[in-house]
Amino acid sequence: MLDEKDHSGLGAGSVLGKCRLTSRIGHGGMGVVWEARHLTLEIPVAVKILREQGLSATESARYRERFQREARIAARLSHPGLVRVLDFGEDGGRPYLVMELVQGWTLEQYLSRQTMLSEKLAIQVVGHVCAALSVAHEAGIIHRDIKPSNILIDKEGKLKVSDLGLARDLMAPALTGPDGILGTPLYIAPEVIDGLEDVDCRADLYSVGVMLYQMLFGKPPFQGGAAQILHAHAFQQPDLEPPPGVEVSSATRSLLRRLLEKRPDKRIDSANQVVAICRSIHARLEGRSSRDSESRRPTDSADSKFRKTLAGQFGASVSVESGRRILHTTFKERVMIWILLGVVVAAAIGGWLASR
């Protein structure tokens, strides 16, 4: 937790608009994020403050325009899988954005602890992320920075897509000045690298494909320096053969291949289609598990430990259904709970009878 003063001189206890800052929780290229208390609504919130230190007047104006655009775009979108924006304003020359506070972990933090997820869990995560993205895409918004650090998991076990700082409204004019290459090299689509003007929602789906690859295989498809990674995304085909000892179904590999197509016209063209495919794959994997409960993916022992960690923090497995908790107890776990309750009740009754 970061609690020192930020670039603007604000610190814990400072009031910005209607929010009292309590602790600094993160920072990015455009701003610093604080946990705060909304003085009117009396709820905890996250406040993102624009970072302008060291910027020229031209750069500052451009960052302010992008910051305002993020607020307008986020305010237009409503979905349980998207971080909500509550307010936007300026105080003392400092533009700020008030958002719902998501207390939990990022997918990046999960992957730093458990580098490889089970196929079922990875498919569920992708399905949920794409359910949220479909709302943005249908509104003409592309995110342009889908990556594990922008996927949040709250304490109720819900996935939320965050950070629309690089988002683009396809129906609005482009910002003044060149955008350059926007996004994170590890997850960027080839058409973004090429600087094509007609980049659309399929660029987000490519980034989703990179995340799926990372969850299944334990690492992104391309690694190295930024220039090497960008060149690989543009010209090299990813190795879709799973690591030794790792089993990935043909259906999931087909999905991965279609998401990572270099040419957008060959790629899956809608987030809703990805959600439908994920539901189909998940149903097959559920059926396979019920028919052969003793058969386990080689990484399942590690994934089981990971699931227990999730259960301790947030609850257990992931759902691709829009707005549902992604972490919930399994049927087997519910049966065990009822058995344990039965043992406790029987022991209590036995003790009571013995005391009579």
How far from chain centre, in Å, is Cα 227? 25
- Which of 182, 180, 122, 119 lies closest to 151 in space, CA to CA? 122
Q: How far apart are CA 103 and CA 112, in angstroms?
A: 18
User: Coil, helix or strand for 192?
Assistant: helix
Question: Which H or E run contains 337?
Answer: helix 331-355
Q: How far apart are CA 85 and CA 49, in angstroms?
A: 13
With left for phi above 0 and alpha for psi between -120 and 50, is residue 163 left, alpha or beta?
Answer: left
Between helix 250-259 and helix 202-217 the angle, nearest 10°, is: 140
Q: How far apart are CA 153 and CA 325, in angstroms?
A: 10
Q: How far apart are CA 8 and CA 31, in angstroms?
A: 10
> Which among 3, 6, 87, 145 is annotated as catalytic?
145
Q: What share of the chain is helix, strand, coil (3-state, %, to 5)?
A: 45, 15, 40
Give, in degrees to the nearest 5, the angle at Cα 110 between 106 and 115.
140
Beta bridge partners of 159: 153
Letter for the amino acid at 356? R
- Residue 145 among the catalytic residues: yes
Q: How far apart are CA 188 and CA 84, in angstroms?
A: 25
Q: How far apart are CA 220 and CA 275, in angstroms?
A: 21
Compute the CA torsion angle 164, 78, 119, 314 (nearest 10 deg).
100
Q: Is 277 exposed, middle or buried (0-12, 13-18, 19+ CB in 10 A)?
A: buried
Give the CA radius of gyration of the chain. 23
Beta bridge partners of 33: 26, 48
Catalytic residues, by residue number, are 145
